Structures are given as C-alpha cells and as structure tokens.
Amino acid sequence: MKIPKFFHPILGVLTGFILFLAGIAILTIVFVGMVKAANYAAPYFAEFVKGFHLLIHRILSL
C-alpha cells in the first residue's frame, strides 16, 4: 500500500516525536539507576575513603 505524499511530513514529525520520547525515557531510566547505585555504594565508598585517609596519614607520619 502506497502512503500518500500528504502524510509524509506528518509521519516524519510523529516518528521524531516518538524517538524523542523514547530518548527521554531511556535517559530517565539511566539517571534513576545511577542514583540508586550511588545511594547503594555510598556506605562502602565512605569506608574506602576513611581507610585511604588513614593509610595516607600513616605514610606521611613516618
């Protein structure tokens, strides 16, 4: 079935809008995942920083 020429710009805009919404959805999912990962890793990272600070302090106090 051939699509009339009249609908080509409308289909282009509609396709662009759908891709735009899909892009926003993907970016939102990635952002929420990164925030959840950062919240999960925060206690472990704080412990690592505390140990690293202690190591540097011991090296500098020699």
> Which amino acid does the sequence have at 4?
P
Tally the domains of the chain: 1
Question: What's the domain range around 56?
Answer: 1-62
Stretch 2-10: mean pLDDT, rounded?
A: 83
**Between 23 and 5, the higher pLDDT residue:** 23
pLDDT in tens, 12-44: 999 999 999 999 999 999 999 999 999 999 888
Answer for the pair 3, 11: CB distance below 8 angstroms, yes or no: yes
Q: What distance in Å separates the CA atoms of residue 20 and residue 13, rounded to the nearest whole number?
A: 10
